[in-house]
Structure 1
């Protein structure tokens, strides 16, 4: 007769949205978050026997998010996630581990006549900031930050040549092509003694620097893989608190439209009118980690 064991479980509240306003006199600051909580309990009787006596209701978890935001404020999503993890573990002895995932909505202070506004904001979705904090009883927080939906494009200084030639190849060498991708990245810190906002902006700046190069002359990319690797290396070189980073770079293809087939009105050469192709696309992923402990 077969026997079974629950080997993994968690439950929580998803999509808890909140806007926190910090009021310093006439100058206001905002953080809009979407929070997901997950708890793992010491017993499994809720699953195995239908006994709900240990369950911290997901509605209670939602209320906790709002109450702790009011009590502690929201300085950074990472710090708020750590606060939530510690609260659940300290309040409920039968909670073994907690995971909190947060997305920060990209609001920026409006600028009017070159001056930042006291209380007006503009939604600027250059990239979405995310974080996940995991913590077990008697453990320390494991903080993972990240970004997604960072869409970038450059019109030159990108190539892809000298790849495998066999019976299945149809793609020609491209010595000068459009390079476009939508970047997703996540990274893990080796400590909680971090200025999380400074570090997040540092990663974003490193991504844009390696992709773009100097404003007047750019930088050459021989492949998406090489650009990805150089970016991750720069992040680890410049931010010692990070010990692991992963990036995912899907190709967003733009191909030259063949205008030569229009005999009387067409053009033999065209590198200015391109057609976006969403699917299928290449998808490149790699992670880089320190082989020696970071010296902080």
Structure 2
């Protein structure tokens, strides 16, 4: 006899834009997000008995996002995600958990004639800020913050040698190579019991610290491997943000291969003479790690 093992449902790809207008200075601040809400609870009969009674319609969820965005700040996105989750769990007795994902898109204020423009912005890259939260009835809210699609490259300062070799190995060792990756970095916060606890947390400051640490470590580390560099990033973020319990990275290699041009009049373009490269789309290396606080260190 079949049974429903797990279910959740909601509204995805809710586009949200909010402008805060400072009437005294005329300066506007804009935020654009894409929001997803998914609800869990006593909703089995909507699947098994064709009973829509327990269904909080996905359109209702969309309208709720807009209304709560009007009534509350949506920056930092971590706090807005928690506000949404708290609303759904408290508003509907049969809903016991709310999953919220927020993608915050990047708008940067224009500088015109050396001065920040009060109401003009530009998209300075595909990087996004991502928030994933789960609010559970009487269990608080879990939040994970992320940086995604941050494309970085350095033209030297990276090596890869001393790796395991066997009869299947063809890759040569290198002591100097181009290193490029599209950063996906995440950090999991301690569980918050209520919205009041979130109010005191500097989520934007933590995001800026994590981003700055990622870029500074990438640029300055004399990298023995992607693995070694990403571990240093994790350590530094844990040290900088005490309320973060673990940090994770996913770093795909963006390869740039030397081109042997010696066939043309002995033209040198390999090793230390390499200046022209061929960017590669795939296949590529993909490296993950998660670094957590050592619980024994608290004893």
Contact 1:240/1:294, CA 8 A, preserved across alignment:
no
TM-superposed CA distance for 1:75, in Å, is 2.1
In terms of fraction of residues, the more helix-rich structure is 2
Q: 1:44 to 1:268 in 2, by over 3 A?
A: closer
Q: Residues of 2 paired with 1:234 and 1:202: CA distance?
A: 9
The two structures have a TM-score, normalised by structure 1, of 0.93
SS of the residue 1:84 aligns to? helix
2:212 is equivalent to residue 205 of structure 1: yes
TM-superposed CA distance for 1:41, in Å, is 2.2
Q: Which runs of 5+ in 1 are unaligned?
A: 214-218
- Corresponding residue for residue 136 of structure 1: 136
Contact 2:160/2:173, CA 8 A, preserved across alignment:
yes
TM-superposed CA distance for 1:268, in Å, is 5.9
- Corresponding residue for residue 12 of structure 2: 14
**1:17-50 deviation digits (Å, cap 9, x = unpaired):** 0110111111111110000000012130000010
TM-superposed CA distance for 1:265, in Å, is 6.9
- Corresponding residue for residue 21 of structure 2: 23
Q: Residues of 1 paired with 2:144 and 2:155: CA distance?
A: 33
- Corresponding residue for residue 247 of structure 1: 249
TM-superposed CA distance for 1:7, in Å, is 2.1
TM-superposed CA distance for 1:109, in Å, is 1.1
- Corresponding residue for residue 150 of structure 2: 150
- Corresponding residue for residue 173 of structure 2: 173
Contact 2:269/2:275, CA 8 A, preserved across alignment:
no
Q: Residues of 2 paired with 1:144 and 1:294: CA distance?
A: 23
Q: 1:54 to 1:294 in 2, by over 3 A?
A: farther
Q: Residues of 2 paired with 1:126 and 1:49: CA distance?
A: 44
- Corresponding residue for residue 92 of structure 2: 92
Q: Residues of 2 paired with 1:160 and 1:265: CA distance?
A: 28
Q: Residues of 1 paired with 2:293 and 2:176: CA distance?
A: 33
2:117 is equivalent to residue 117 of structure 1: yes
TM-superposed CA distance for 1:293, in Å, is 8.3
- Corresponding residue for residue 257 of structure 1: 259
TM-superposed CA distance for 1:294, in Å, is 9.0
**1:185-209 deviation digits (Å, cap 9, x = unpaired):** 1111115342111101110001011
- Corresponding residue for residue 69 of structure 2: 69
TM-superposed CA distance for 1:241, in Å, is 1.2
2:255 is equivalent to residue 267 of structure 1: no
Q: Which runs of 5+ in 2 are unaligned?
A: 193-197
- Corresponding residue for residue 5 of structure 1: 3
The two structures have a TM-score, normalised by structure 2, of 0.92
SS of the residue 1:12 aligns to? strand
Aligned-residue CA RMSD (Å): 1.5
- Corresponding residue for residue 233 of structure 2: 231
SS of the residue 2:145 aligns to? strand
Q: 1:22 to 1:240 in 2, by over 3 A?
A: same
Report the count of equivalent residues. 287
